[in-house]
Amino acid sequence: MARSYVHEARKRVGPKKHRIRPIIERLAAEHQDATIALKFRSDLELLVAVMLSAQTTDVNVNRVTPALFAKYPRPEDYLAVQQEELERDIYATGFFRQKAKSLRGTMKLLIEEFDGEVPRTIDELLRFPGVARKTANVVAAELGTPQGIVVDTHVRRLSQRLGFTRQEDPVKVERDLIRLVPREDWGRFPHLLIWHGRRVCIARNPQCGRCVINDLCPASRV
């Protein structure tokens, strides 16, 4: 019965390849302020903030980073203190021991192989300890060279509701989205879904009645 309902709903809204552009356009008009929530002023600060954001909220990271960035403006500064001191400085972001170890390993590699400059390719970013594909995708996109699509819990959840993917694994979700989303939209697409997920398509109580894409969504309750 459920499968029949989903099939009928997808027939009602049309194929996903025909829906993707109007969905992006409407969400872009609705969420004009959709951008990364982390605060940073340099490539290095971006990399550090994204690494610290694992398993915690952007709000929490933004509370920690002003003092952190003032104390550690250069890669060398993260290596000039004992790991225990860095752990104390990032304690509030959680998993502080592993994060401190990853940060120090990243700064060492950054200095030795990249002259202190944050690289822009996914393959290079993935070489840093503690940098998985999601982190690499975020950094590359924010530096203006998106090479994939960031998949967090909002992106996965909304992509499933919109009928763009049936996958649960983020790598497989990204693979489906890359085939569907126009390349020029790879950078902004995740932000649009994230902000729409926070403001309208809330996990437990989706606000379908005020959703600008409800006629294009197979999960719409309207």
Task: Point out the residues that are catalytic.
Answer: 134, 152
Alpha-carbon span 94 to 129, nearest angstrom: 17
Alpha-carbon span 43 to 45, nearest angstrom: 6
Query: Chain-centre distance of CA 26, in angstroms?
Result: 20
Tokens standing for residue 147:
């090479």
Q: Is the dihedral of CA 9, 13, 15, 16 positive or negative?
A: negative
Residues 74 and 116 sit within 8 Å (Cβ to Cβ) = yes
* N- to C-terminal Cα separation, the chain: 19
Residues 68 and 90 sit within 8 Å (Cβ to Cβ) = yes
